[in-house]
Structure 1
Amino acid sequence: MGDIQMDDIEIVQKILNGEKQFYELIVRRFNPVLYRIGRAYNLCHEDTQDVMQESFVDAYRGLGGFRNESSFKTWISRIMINRCFHHFQKNRVTDGLMISINDNNEVMRKDSENEADKGVMQRELANMLEDSMSRIPLEYRMVFILREVNGMNTDETAELLDITPGNVKVRLNRSKALLRKEIEKSFDEQALFEFHLRYCDEIVNNVMRLINLKSLL
């Protein structure tokens, strides 16, 4: 099922009406969003996928509680952040250097190498950015990821992190100030922490299998 042109609320209503196959659209639509959040929490690729699956199942189970008081992206992102926090606490993950995409994801490396010079440039920019971001505390890094990479606006980010819009702006400016000027000018935000289609299919299949095993709604 492709990501047909329906808004999130329409899809949610169809699922609540018993058409659970439409949940595949939700998973595909928000795979990249949740993946970037997991990586911002310093989780490796494999752990991020595990937490994403748990988050999607949680979201499906709690779908009837979505009141459309905030955007669906904000709602499901909050579920992912809560899951990441619990994983972080459970495994005592330290907020140290961010895991290198290239060192921990051989498939992504192969995909990039197929693009020759462009792939080399993207890897270099990603490495430079990660070196700089490794010195940024989590509260600044999360604001940067949510605003600049996941495309959330100031109010959505403030609601999700339970801070004021003013604090969002301050933290975003602070995070940018900590990045090297040349990286800030040249790197491709959307290439950072990219979630490739092959992983999307895997997550979709796993989540749909899990929600079909038993009635969660």
Structure 2
Amino acid sequence: METDVRFTHKNLVEECKKGIQGSQYELYSLYVDAMFNVGYRFLGSKEDAEDIIQDSFVDAFRNLEKFKYESSFGAWLKRIVINKSINHLKAKRIAVVPMEAHEFHLTEDESVEVDKVDIQKVKKGIAVLPDGYRQIINLYLIEGYDHVEIGEILGISTSTSKSQYHRAKKKLLEIISEL
């Protein structure tokens, strides 16, 4: 018999809210690996990602009463991890730099078909991108946020998000071509 994952996870969240022993560990076990991957993609450091994940779970469990099932628990937790990762990078003074209007002009001729590029090269390329570029690439390509959402998350304008993405993509393609 196939179990509905949303039902199971909702039950675990409700058990955590009630303080039932072991439920927090079960919920943690279900999400820790995925959340570590999210944190690692942003931070590029295993140790930083581990710290952020622990802080994120502590905050999530402390604020579980605020979770109202407007999204899945995983999506809610992922948003906490992303926000904490971004705040960590900001604390290290790694900023997304706003660009002047004249720098927005990139032609499609400069792009390469990413489908034809080896996925391992893409991963290596993302890993060596400057942190600000890696943030935009992760938020847009990997996490699936649109530029309006990225602007809200990072506290930048939509046009800055778009321009940073295009610059990051251009830099990523340069890096990949050298690998």
State TM-score, norm by structure 1: 0.49
5 Å-filtered alignment, 1:36-115, equals 36-42=38-44, 44-69=45-70, 72-84=73-85, 87-88=88-89, 92=92
Paired position in structure 2 for 1:12: 13
TM-align CA RMSD: 4.1
**Does residue 174 of the first structure (1) align with residue 171 of the second (2)?**
no
2:160 and 2:120 map into 1 onto residues whose CA distance is 32
1:69 and 1:173 map into 2 onto residues whose CA distance is 32
Q: What SS does structure 1 have at the residue aligned with 2:56?
A: helix
Cα displacement (A) at 1:144: 1.4
Q: What SS does structure 2 have at the residue aligned with 1:36?
A: helix
1:179 and 1:38 map into 2 onto residues whose CA distance is 18
Equivalent residues, number: 151
**Does residue 145 of the first structure (1) align with residue 138 of the second (2)?**
yes
Cα displacement (A) at 1:36: 2.8
The unaligned stretches of length 5 or more in structure 1 are 96-120, 185-217
Which gives a bigger RCO, structure 1 or 2 (Cα 8 Å, sep 6+)?
A: 1
- Cα gap change, 1:40 to 1:29, in 2 (>3 Å): same
The unaligned stretches of length 5 or more in structure 2 are 96-117
State TM-score, norm by structure 2: 0.57
Paired position in structure 1 for 2:30: 28
Q: Is the 8 A contact 1:51 1:84 kept in 2?
A: yes
- Cα gap change, 1:122 to 1:85, in 2 (>3 Å): closer
Deviation string, structure 1 residues 98-121 (Cα, Å, up to 9, x no partner):
xxxxxxxxxxxxxxxxxxxxxxx8
